[in-house]
C-alpha cells in the first residue's frame, strides 16, 4: 500500500502515540534526575522494586541518558516525518511551513514543558514506573548503548572529564548541614537541633566549653583533716578535684561514692582518703568534642583537665558538658553556683560574666567572636584592654553592654541591651 493511501485517521492516531512516547521520555528523564538520592537509597534498602531499579539505572547515568536520548530522538524524528506528511497531504506545498510551526508548538507544550513540569512535581511515581520500562529496554538496546557510551566517554576523556561515582553522592559538612536544616516538618525541631549540634561538635573544641581555671574548686591536701571532712560532707559535686597547695600541683580526683561508705562506718581518715584518689586525666585544649567523646569512652573517664601547649591547666571538662552540647542544658549544679542568662521585661539580658560566648550567641542570636577569650568577661577585657569598672558601657557587635558588677578585676555581671538596628543605604533612600 502506498503511504499516501493510508487513512488520515490512522496517521493522526500514530502521531498521538508518538507524542505520548515523547512525553514519556522527556518526563521520565526529569523524574529520574530529580529523585532524592538519599531517600531513594533508603527506599531501595527497604526492598522497593521501583527504587531498586531506579538506583541501578542512576548508578550509571551515562548509560541511562544515552538510552533516553536514543529513544526520544528516534520518536521525535518519526513525529517530524509524520507531521510533514500530514502537512503536505492536507495543505499541499504550504503544509510544510504550517506543519513545522504547529509541530514546534505542540512538541514544546505536550512533549517537553508539561511532562517535565509534572515529573518535577511528582518524581517518584513517574520514575519508579519508568525504571521498570528502562531496565527492560536497557537489556534490549545494550549493544547500541555500549557503542554510544564508548564514543562519548572517549570524547569526555579528551577534555579531562571522568565519571566519579563518589562525587555525585558525597556531601561536604556544610552541604549536609543545609540538608538537615531544610528537613522541615519531616523531623521534629528538637531532633533537628540535636543533629545540628552533633555536626557542630566537629568544629568545637574542649576549650570552647570547659569550665575555666578561675572557677575550679577542689580539696587542698595540705588543709587540716577536719576541714577536709567538712568540705567533703558539704560538697555539691560527686567528683572532687584534689591538689596540694595550688592548682599547679593537681593530684587527681576523688569520687564521693567511694568516700561516703567509709565516712558512714567511721573509717574515713586521711590515709584512706588519699588511697581513693584517682590520677588526673589531661587533654589538650584543641581537642575536638567528637574526638573527646570517644576518648572518654576509650579511657573509661568522665572528667578531664584541659591544658595548653605548655602543660598549664586551663580548665576542666566533663562528659556531661559534651552531652549538653547535644541535648541542651541539663546540669544539676546548685542554683547558688549556676551561671545564667536572664531576660528582663524591657528586652535586656542580665548576664553572668563567666557565661561562654557561644551560649550568649545561641540565646541572643548574636555573633560575638574572640580569638582568645571564651567567656563574655574575656571578650570585654579583650575589647577594653583595661580593667573594667561598674557603670562602664561599650558597643560590641552593635550590642550595648553595661557592666554592673566586678570582682577581682573581672566582670561579675553585666546587662546586654537589644541590638541597635542600623539603617542601610537603601532604607535611607
Q: What separation, in Å, do the N-terminal and C-terminal C-alpha atoms of the chain show? A: 77
Domain ranges of the chain: 3-159, 206-327, 342-416
The mean of the pLDDT values for the chain is 83
Mean pLDDT of the region 119-125: 91
| pTM of the model as a whole | 0.56
Give the mean model confidence (pLDDT) for residues 334-363.
Answer: 77
The domain 206-327 is placed in CATH, from the list 3.40.50.2300, 3.10.580.10, 3.40.640.10, 3.40.50.2000, at 3.10.580.10
Pick 36 or 383 by higher pLDDT: 383
pLDDT recorded at residue 129:
92
Q: Which CATH number fits domain 342-416: 3.90.1150.10, 3.30.460.80, 3.40.50.300, 3.30.465.10?
A: 3.30.465.10
Mean pLDDT of the 393-403 span: 91
Answer yes or no: is pLDDT of 330 > 70.
Answer: no
Residue 163 pLDDT more than 90?
A: no
Asked whether the domain spanning 342-416 has the same topology as the one spanning 206-327, the reply is no
Least reliable range by pLDDT among 24-28, 256-260, 304-308? 256-260
pLDDT of amino acid 334: 47
Per-residue confidence band for 243, with pLDDT thresholds at 50, 70 and 90:
very high
Amino acid at each position: 500500500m502506498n503511504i499516501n493511501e493510508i487513512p488520515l485517521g490512522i496517521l493522526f492516531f500514530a502521531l498521538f502515540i508518538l507524542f505520548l512516547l515523547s512525553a514519556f521520555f522527556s518526563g521520565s528523564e526529569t523524574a529520574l534526575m530529580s529523585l532524592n538520592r538519599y531517600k531513594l537509597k533508603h527506599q531501595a534498602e527497604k526492598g522497593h522494586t521501583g527504587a531498586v531499579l531506579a538506583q541501578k539505572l542512576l548508578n550509571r547515568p551515562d548509560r541511562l541518558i544515552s538510552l533516553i536520548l536514543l529513544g526520544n530522538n528516534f520518536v521525535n524524528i518519526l513525529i517530524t516525518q509524520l507531521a510533514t506528511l500530514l502537512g503536505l497531504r492536507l495543505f499541499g506545498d504550504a503544509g510544510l511551513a504550517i506543519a513545522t510551526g504547529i509541530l514546534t508548538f505542540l512538541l514544546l507544550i505536550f512533549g517537553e514543558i508539561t511532562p517535565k513540569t509534572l515529573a518535577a512535581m511528582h518524581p517518584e511515581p513517574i520514575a519508579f514506573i519508568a525504571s521498570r520500562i528502562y531496565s527492560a529496554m536497557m537489556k534490549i538496546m545494550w549493544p547500541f548503548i555500549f557503542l554510544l557510551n564508548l564514543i562519548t566517554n572517549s570524547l569526555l576523556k579528551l577534555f579531562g572529564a571522568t565519571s566519579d561515582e563518589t562525587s555525585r553522592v558525597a556531601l561536604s559538612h556544610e552541604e549536609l548541614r543545609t540538608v538537615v536544616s531544610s528537613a522541615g516538618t519531616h523531623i521534629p525541631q528538637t531532633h533537628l537541633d540535636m543533629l545540628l549540634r552533633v555536626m557542630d561538635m566537629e568544629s568545637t573544641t574542649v576549650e570552647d566549653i570547659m569550665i575555666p581555671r578561675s572557677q575550679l574548686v577542689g580539696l587542698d591536701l595540705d588543709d587540716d583533716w577536719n576541714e577536709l571532712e567538712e568540705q567533703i560532707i558539704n560538697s555539691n559535686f560527686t567528683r572532687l578535684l584534689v591538689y596540694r597547695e595550688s592548682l599547679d600541683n593537681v593530684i587527681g580526683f576523688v569520687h564521693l561514692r567511694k568516700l561516703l561508705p567509709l565516712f558512714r562506718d567511721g573509717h574515713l581518715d586521711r590515709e584512706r582518703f588519699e588511697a581513693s584518689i584517682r590520677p588526673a586525666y589531661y587533654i589538650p585544649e584543641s581537642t575536638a568534642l567528637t574526638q573527646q567523646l570517644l576518648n572518654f569512652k576509650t579511657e573509661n573517664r568522665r572528667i578531664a583537665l584541659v591544658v595548653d601547649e605548655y602543660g598549664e591547666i586551663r580548665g576542666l571538662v566533663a562528659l556531661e558538658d559534651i552531652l549538653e552540647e547535644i541535648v541542651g542544658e541539663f546540669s544539676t549544679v546548685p542554683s547558688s553556683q549556676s551561671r545564667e542568662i536572664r531576660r528582663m521585661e524591657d528586652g535586656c539580658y542580665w548576664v553572668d560574666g563567666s557565661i561562654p560566648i557561644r551560649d550568649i550567641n545561641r540565646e541572643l542570636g548574636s555573633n560575638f567572636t574572640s580569638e582568645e577569650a571564651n567567656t563574655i568577661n574575656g571578650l570585654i577585657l579583650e575589647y577594653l584592654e583595661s580593667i573594667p569598672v561598674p557603670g562602664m558601657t561599650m558597643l560590641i557587635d552593635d550590642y550595648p553592654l553595661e557592666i554592673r558588677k566586678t570582682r577581682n578585676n573581672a566582670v561579675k555581671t553585666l546587662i546586654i541591651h537589644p541590638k541597635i538596628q542600623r539603617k542601610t543605604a537603601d532604607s535611607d533612600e
